[in-house]
């Protein structure tokens, strides 16, 4: 196991973390803009969270941890 020297870069560029970020944004958006509550489906954030482990498996060449 290696310690990553630049964890911020990995968190900003990893596809699995972007799925989690989008799910969180979809959950917070109706609290920020109330009329989005009827526009954003409730299941959409769950879909992004379910895709997150699959996105972790995809090889991403732009994630250079060194």
Between the alpha carbon of residue 12 and those of residues 26, 38, 50, the distances in Å are 18, 30, 19
CA 29/CA 36 separation, integer angstroms: 7
pLDDT band at residue 42 using 50, 70 and 90 as cut-offs: confident
Query: What's the pTM value of the predicted model, to 2 decimals?
Result: 0.73
Domain assignment present for 39: yes
- Check: CB of residue 64 under 8 Å from CB of residue 24: no
Q: How many domains does the chain have?
A: 1
| 38 domain-assigned | yes
Assess if residue 51 is contained within a domain. yes
What local confidence, expressed as pLDDT, does residue 53 receive?
87
Domain span including residue 37: 28-59
* 8: Cβ contacts below 8 Å, ≥ 6 apart: none
Q: Which is higher by pLDDT, 57 or 1?
A: 57
Do the domain assignments include residue 9? no
- Domain assignment present for residue 40? The answer is yes
Percent of the chain having pLDDT more than 70?
86
């Amino acid at each position: 196991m290696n310690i990553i020297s630049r964890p911020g870069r990995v968190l900003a560029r990893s596809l699995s973390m972007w799925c989690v970020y989008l799910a969180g944004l979809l959950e917070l958006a109706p609290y920020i803009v109330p009329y989005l509550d009827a526009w954003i489906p409730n299941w959409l954030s769950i879909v992004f969270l379910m895709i997150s482990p699959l996105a972790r498996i995809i090889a991403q060449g732009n994630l250079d941890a060194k």
